[in-house]
């Protein structure tokens, strides 16, 4: 009996196409299956760096009005002159995070030349992280559980002696927040010591809407990062108009988004992330 080779291959081809179709949808399904508190669809955290004065003067009253709790990543020397106001911000429910003792960055920034990461060692960085935590605790009565990398840079040293200080952050904090990222974090996979953050400085909602919509659709955690609040527009200023628009967008019932400080969301992920190094149980549906 003569058979047709082409006919034998048809079922195999169909099987391959069906498998490809199913697997294309699998990543999205895995992300959407992560369980957020109260069956929320996704999480968003707002954060601000450096402990700038405008965060107290314009930011805290506005955030209170909008019903937003955020994370302020502070340098101790910046908050010391107004420690009473910063204590009040913490008491109002805002998270106070560690942004290092001296804000070291690459010496390629001229202003950072006397605290250049290229000249740091891991031991020096470890001391700086610990001293910053101690100072923040002394000044404000809170001990930070999350950290934001100054300039988003995670290295010390230069050339063959370059080392990552991410492990130091992982040992000390629930999360380490980056800077100038391109999207959200997959809660089922993210390395919390290298959490991605998207800039919200000098932008309006339309510039962030696609990123927000995508994060919600995928059940992800979007971290937004800014600096000054409410002063004249500039490259390191988060606009009041954006914060008002964000509050309305995020609080819309149909979006069902969990809006909380970085540390609160990170602690939930750490507890519920499947296969985490901390041995936490799975928080995903079968």
Are 75 and 100 in contact by the 8 Å Cβ rule? The answer is yes
Strands (E), 23-168: 42-50, 71-74, 95-98, 146-148, 155-156, 163-164
pLDDT higher for 274 or 208? 208
pLDDT higher for 271 or 23? 271
pLDDT class for 231, splitting at 50, 70, 90?
confident
Residue 284 has pLDDT above 60, yes or no: no
If you search the block for the tokens 């314009």, which residue do you land on? Answer: 58
Ranges 1-5, 99-103, 184-188, 200-204: which has the least confidence:
1-5
Please give the pLDDT value at position 33: 73
Q: How far is CA 235 from CA 167, 197, 245, 273, in A?
A: 31, 16, 19, 35
Which pTM value belongs to this model? 0.85
Work out the average pLDDT over 233-238: 91
Are 257 and 217 in contact by the 8 Å Cβ rule? The answer is no
Please give the pLDDT value at position 100: 98
Q: For residue range 157-177, list pLDDT tens digits in order.
A: 999 999 999 999 999 999 999
Please give the pLDDT value at position 18: 44
Pull the structure tokens for residue 131: 């001293």
Cα–Cα distance between 86 and 131 in angstroms, integer?
A: 19
Are 192 and 270 in contact by the 8 Å Cβ rule? The answer is yes
Residue 199 has pLDDT above 90, yes or no: yes
pLDDT higher for 233 or 6? 233
Q: For residue range 49-83, list pLDDT tens digits in order.
A: 999 999 999 999 999 999 999 999 999 999 999 99
Work out the average pLDDT over 214-229: 98
Pull the structure tokens for residue 223: 């971290």
Pairing of strands 221-226, 42-50: parallel
The pLDDT > 90 percentage for the chain reads 82
Please give the pLDDT value at position 171: 98
Please give the pLDDT value at position 274: 65
Ranges 9-23, 147-161, 249-263: which has the least confidence:
9-23
């Amino acid at each position: 009996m003569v058979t047709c080779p082409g006919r034998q291959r048809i079922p195999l081809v169909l099987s391959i196409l069906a498998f490809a179709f199913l697997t294309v949808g699998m990543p999205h399904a895995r992300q959407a299956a992560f369980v957020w508190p109260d069956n929320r669809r996704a999480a968003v955290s707002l954060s601000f760096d450096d402990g700038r004065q405008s965060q107290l003067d314009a930011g805290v009253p506005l955030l209170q009005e909008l019903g937003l709790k955020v994370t302020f990543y502070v340098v101790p020397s910046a908050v010391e002159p107004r420690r009473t106001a910063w204590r009040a911000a913490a008491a109002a429910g805002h998270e106070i995070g560690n942004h290092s003792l001296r804000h070291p960055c690459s010496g390629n920034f001229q202003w950072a030349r006397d605290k250049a990461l290229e000249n740091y060692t891991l031991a020096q960085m470890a001391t700086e992280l610990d001293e910053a935590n101690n100072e923040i605790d002394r000044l404000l009565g809170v001990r930070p559980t999350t950290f934001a990398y100054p300039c988003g840079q995670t290295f010390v040293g230069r050339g063959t002696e370059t080392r990552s200080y991410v492990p130091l952050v992982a040992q000390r904090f629930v999360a380490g927040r980056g800077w100038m990222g391109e999207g959200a974090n997959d809660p089922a996979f993210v390395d919390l010591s290298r959490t991605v953050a998207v800039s919200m400085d000098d932008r309006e909602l339309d510039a962030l809407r696609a990123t927000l919509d995508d994060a919600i659709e995928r059940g992800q955690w979007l971290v937004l990062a800014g600096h000054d609040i409410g002063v004249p527009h500039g490259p390191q200023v988060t606009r009041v108009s954006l914060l008002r628009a964000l509050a309305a967008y995020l609080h819309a019932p149909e979006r069902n988004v969990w809006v909380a400080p970085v540390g609160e969301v990170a602690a939930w992920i750490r507890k519920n992330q499947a296969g985490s190094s901390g041995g936490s149980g799975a928080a995903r549906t079968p």
